[in-house]
Amino acid sequence: MAEKTVPQYAGEQDASEKEDTRSQEKYVTPAVDIYETLDGLVVKADLPGVTKDGLDLRVENNLLTIRGRAAHRAPGEMLYREYQLANFFRQFELSDKVDQQNISAELKHGVLTLNLPKAEEAKPRKIEVRIA
């Protein structure tokens, strides 16, 4: 029972201000999964309410920045609130082993999937043993 239900991720409940700036905007840290495949790394981030237009992905100085603007809001007056649909912001440092030119991204049902391929030199290589 316990394993099958979805545990609470604390980050999405409360928006907090980004520490490194003095901007007044509030940000939520999205929950991410990062895992390795043979070809590289896959990053999945939950960005509910973010559409393609509201998403800003950058790689600068080995720093991957995910920034999302949650666009949709139901109409009406708030009666009861459990979360704030604020903007999403999260940064990751990339290693040199990621081929930064060939990062691809897909956004589906509010989940961003980033494929970070390994650079050629970092891929596992099989070395043929020649028998003399």
Residue ranges in contact with other proteins by CB under 8 A: 1-9, 11-13, 31-37, 41, 44-51, 71-83, 85, 107, 109-111
The residue assigned the tokens 């494929």 is 115
Joined together, the tokens standing for residue 56 give 């800003």
- Of 11 and 18, CB closest to other proteins: 11
Is residue 112 within 8 Å of 45, Cβ to Cβ?
A: yes
- Of 74 and 129, CB closest to other proteins: 74
Instruction: Let me know if 28 is exposed, middle or buried by CB neighbors in 10 A (0-12, 13-18, 19+).
Output: buried
- Of 21 and 37, CB closest to other proteins: 37
> What is the nearest approach in angstroms of other proteins to the Cβ of residue 3?
7
